[in-house]
């Protein structure tokens, strides 16, 4: 593989209009898909490598395209794709009944202002945590390697060019096939849901069951998260439906359909057990990172102290950030509209007489907490990767901190009955800080990729801002559309079995209510916490006694918290991905073959996500549950068998095709 040598000479093309346009187009597609499946499955997928492959395959038709220009495309797309993690907080305002939808400009401002602050706050940390650091940055390094072998110019190889071409085909075919399957499911000719619920003893005994969804995107999510995360989610589902649902439904001793009792028990009791498991696991993960994060911050401060006056002007191109004065001005420019947003929200939530206290206190909390989470998330991304970073733990800490400050500072001054406004305000502040956290969790990863491909940091940083604005523009209407079509679990009027789970938003809103309103059953949270503590011990033992086996407590918590319709296919996908990777190990170029599987899986998510958003629009505007239905309920039985057979056949063909094209690319 050809390495890239650093040079002060600027590349022929880097931050170009076409790179920004292509990055924004990819952003719109990937962000819509990420929002849909983040709400459905509680997981999002990394967009950097698929975006880089698409960019290389398209821009290689231009003679003056460079690796740095392709890097700008993936930078724009990855920042917006990461910003979609705001769905882990923002739907909470709908879940508590405060919002009935997502007001565009407020939602846009939260995403845009928080995202831009995330970019600005991470810039001072780049030199210490990227340039002068031995942090591994797993996703950033992997993306750089893909760019090196597939971009035009001296950094490319013949097989790399073929790999980028076939990689684009993998994304396209994965998208087309997954979209087509979902469209046929919408006609009801293919069935996609296989469920069964039954009692374990008599008419009033406990119940259990399962709900299995034929979804290529969920299968692809399982491939991307890997075998052991998939196994952990399966363990969580087993805890939920093998013990918790039967136990608590038996205590209820209620007659009636087993499916209704099972779903009610899961929603009323089991979800909160899962929330306790997720909370403890996330806090434990953060606690393990206290020492390395503190060390990283110390290095950052040391680096800033040793910089000489006037040094920035003589820095080589590869070390030129956006000037710190500009960073400061942009940050201050963000604080002003954030203060306005906080004041506007306070007035609208019945807290007007305490507006200035809320604005000043909320702004200080945003400024200070945002900087802390930027440093923490930036370091975590370098240490364990953006995809593995426990963002939910950040959300837990931020919302608990905000809620406690409101309880001690504002609640004693309120008349009884206004507490719900405090819950909404706590979620609103958390959403701003979380937008900062999502971007800071991604930025340094992108800047590491840039360092390895000889990019100019300042141009990448401006590209990150563009990506944030593009993502902020598309996220609110997608959220509003999905809310109208499906709703969110736990929200007023949400239909069980149809509503999107939005697990992290449910957890964070439940914690805000628990702290401020005191209406949460903490005994269930404690049981989940005990389960989480036990899982932490099991995970530590596995990691010390085996080469690769582990049991992620966070993933187990998700398995408890999510409905089986969102978890079981992820488990299947994790196993299929593991089998594919094992076969890839025997190929001529194992890593390239594995990467082809990743691109195929990414395409499946994008295709089904986009068609899911399109169908949601048709459902919302038509007012019908099955506006594309061609057959009635009487065809449901045959549809399941037909859909199941088609699903298995298509998945098998797609993965065999990925193996074959990988072999062709390797032979080029």
Give per-residue pLDDT as tens, 565-576.
778 888 999 999
SS3 label, residue 264: helix
Instruction: Express each pLDDT in 85-142 by its tens digit.
Output: 888 888 988 888 888 889 999 999 999 999 899 888 888 777 767 766 666 676 677 6
DSSP state of 137: -
Give the end-to-end CA distance of the chain in Å, rounded to a whole number: 15
Write the DSSP string, 614-667: HHHHHHHHH--S-TT--S-GGGHHHHHHHHHHHHHHHHHHHHHHHHHHHHHHHH
Lowest mean pLDDT of 214-228, 377-391, 645-659, name the range.
Answer: 377-391
Banded pLDDT at 3 (limits 50, 70, 90): very low
Average of per-residue pLDDT across 544-554? 84
Given a cut of 70, is residue 315 above it in pLDDT?
no
Query: Is residue 274 within 8 Å of 560, Cβ to Cβ?
Result: yes
Given a cut of 50, is residue 308 above it in pLDDT?
no
Query: Is residue 230 within 8 Å of 601, Cβ to Cβ?
Result: no
Instruction: Express each pLDDT in 66-80 by its tens digit.
Output: 888 888 888 888 776
- What is the H or E stretch that residue 197 is in? strand 193-199
Banded pLDDT at 578 (limits 50, 70, 90): very high
Query: Is residue 507 within 8 Å of 279, Cβ to Cβ?
Result: yes
Going by C-alpha positions, the residue among 659, 666, 651, 663 that lies closest to residue 597 is 659
Question: Rounded distance, CA 360 to CA 465, Å?
Answer: 26
Q: Which residues pair with 212 in a beta bridge?
A: 194
| CA distance to 315, 451, 586, per residue, from 5 (Å) | 17, 11, 33
Question: Rounded distance, CA 426 to CA 364, Å?
Answer: 14
Given a cut of 90, is residue 653 above it in pLDDT?
yes
Going by C-alpha positions, the residue among 179, 106, 112 that lies closest to residue 480 is 106
Question: Rounded distance, CA 308 to CA 525, Å?
Answer: 52
pLDDT for the residue numbered 109: 92
| CA distance to 425, 508, 645, per residue, from 403 (Å) | 9, 11, 50
**Two tokens at 622?**
């038509």
- How far is Cα of residue 269 from the mean position of the Cα atoms in its chain? 26
Question: Rounded distance, CA 472 to CA 465, Å?
Answer: 10
pTM of the model: 0.74
Question: Rounded distance, CA 155 to CA 482, Å?
Answer: 43
Question: Rounded distance, CA 70 to CA 55, Å?
Answer: 6
Question: Which carries the bigger pLDDT value, residue 263 or residue 294?
Answer: 263
Question: Rounded distance, CA 622 to CA 620, Å?
Answer: 6
pLDDT for the residue numbered 4: 40
Instruction: Express each pLDDT in 465-477 by its tens digit.
Output: 998 998 899 899 9
| Percent of the chain surpassing pLDDT 70 | 83
Given a cut of 90, is residue 235 above it in pLDDT?
yes
Banded pLDDT at 541 (limits 50, 70, 90): very high
Instruction: Express each pLDDT in 17-49 by its tens digit.
Output: 888 888 888 888 878 877 887 787 666 666 777
Question: Which carries the bigger pLDDT value, residue 7 or residue 361?
Answer: 361
């Amino acid at each position: 593989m050809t390495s890239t040598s650093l040079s002060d000479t600027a590349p022929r093309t880097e931050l170009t209009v076409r790179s920004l346009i292509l990055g924004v187009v990819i952003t719109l597609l990937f962000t819509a898909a990420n929002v849909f499946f983040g709400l459905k499955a509680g997981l999002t997928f990394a967009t950097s490598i698929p975006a880089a492959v698409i960019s290389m395959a398209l821009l290689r038709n231009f003679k003056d395209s460079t690796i740095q220009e392709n890097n700008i495309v993936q930078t724009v797309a990855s920042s917006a794709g990461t910003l979609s993690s705001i769905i882990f907080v923002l739907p909470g305002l709908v879940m508590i009944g405060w919002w009935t939808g997502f007001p565009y400009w407020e939602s846009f401002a939260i995403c845009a202002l928080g995202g831009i602050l995330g970019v600005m706050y991470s810039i001072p940390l780049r030199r210490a945590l990227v340039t002068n650091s031995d942090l591994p940055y797993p996703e950033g390094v992997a993306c750089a390697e893909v760019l090196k072998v597939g971009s035009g110019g001296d950094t490319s190889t013949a097989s790399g060019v073929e790999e980028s071409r076939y990689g684009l085909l993998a994304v396209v075919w994965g998208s087309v096939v997954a979209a087509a399957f979902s469209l046929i499911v919408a006609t009801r000719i293919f069935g996609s849901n296989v469920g069964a619920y039954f009692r374990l003893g008599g008419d009033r005994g406990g119940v259990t069951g399962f709900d299995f969804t034929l979804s290529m995107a969920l299968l692809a999510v399982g491939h991307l998260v890997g075998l052991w995360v998939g196994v952990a989610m399966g363990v969580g589902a087993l805890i939920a439906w093998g013990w918790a649902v039967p136990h608590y439904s038996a205590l209820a001793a209620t007659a009636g359909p087993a499916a209704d009792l099972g779903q009610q028990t899961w929603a009323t009791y089991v979800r909160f057990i899962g929330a306790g498991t997720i909370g403890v696991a996330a806090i434990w993960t953060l606690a393990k990172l206290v020492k390395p994060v503190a060390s990283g911050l110390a290095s950052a401060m040391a680096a800033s102290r040793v910089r000489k006056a006037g040094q920035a002007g003589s820095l080589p191109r590869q070390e030129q950030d956006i000037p710190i004065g500009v960073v400061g001005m942009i940050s201050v420019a963000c604080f002003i509209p954030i203060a306005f947003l906080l004041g506007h929200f306070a007035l609208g939530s019945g807290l007007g007489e305490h507006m200035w206290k809320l604005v000043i206190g909320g702004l200080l909390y945003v400024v200070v907490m945002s900087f802390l989470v930027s440093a923490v998330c930036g370091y975590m991304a370098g240490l364990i990767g953006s995809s593995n970073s426990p963002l939910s733990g950040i959300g837990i800490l931020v919302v608990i901190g905000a809620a406690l400050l409101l309880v001690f500072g504002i609640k004693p001054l309120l008349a009884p009955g206004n507490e719900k406004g405090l819950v909404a305000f706590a979620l609103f502040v958390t959403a701003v800080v979380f937008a900062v956290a999502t971007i800071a969790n991604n930025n340094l990863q992108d800047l590491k990729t840039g360092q390895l491909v000889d990019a100019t940091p300042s141009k990448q940083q401006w590209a990150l801002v563009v990506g944030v604005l593009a993502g902020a523009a598309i996220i609110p209407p997608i959220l509003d559309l999905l809310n109208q079509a499906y709703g969110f679990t736990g929200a007023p009027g949400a239909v069980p079995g149809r509503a999107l789970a939005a697990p992290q938003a449910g957890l964070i809103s439940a914690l805000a209510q628990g702290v401020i309103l005191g209406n949460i059953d903490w005994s269930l949270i404690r049981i989940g916490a005990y389960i989480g503590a036990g899982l932490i011990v099991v995970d530590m033992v596995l990691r010390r006694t085996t080469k690769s086996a582990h049991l992620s407590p966070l993933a187990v918590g998700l398995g408890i918290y999510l409905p089986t319709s969102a978890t079981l296919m992820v488990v299947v996908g994790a196993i299929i991905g593991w089998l594919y990777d094992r076969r890839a190990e025997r190929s001529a170029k194992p890593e390239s073959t594995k990467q082809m599987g990743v691109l195929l899986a990414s395409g499946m998510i994008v295709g089904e996500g986009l068609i899911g958003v399109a169908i949601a629009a048709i459902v919302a505007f038509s007012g019908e549950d099955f506006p594309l239905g061609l057959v009635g309920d009487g065809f449901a039985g045959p549809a399941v068998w037909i859909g199941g057979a088609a699903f298995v056949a298509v998945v098998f063909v797609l993965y065999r095709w990925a193996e074959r094209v990988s072999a062709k690319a390797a032979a080029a």
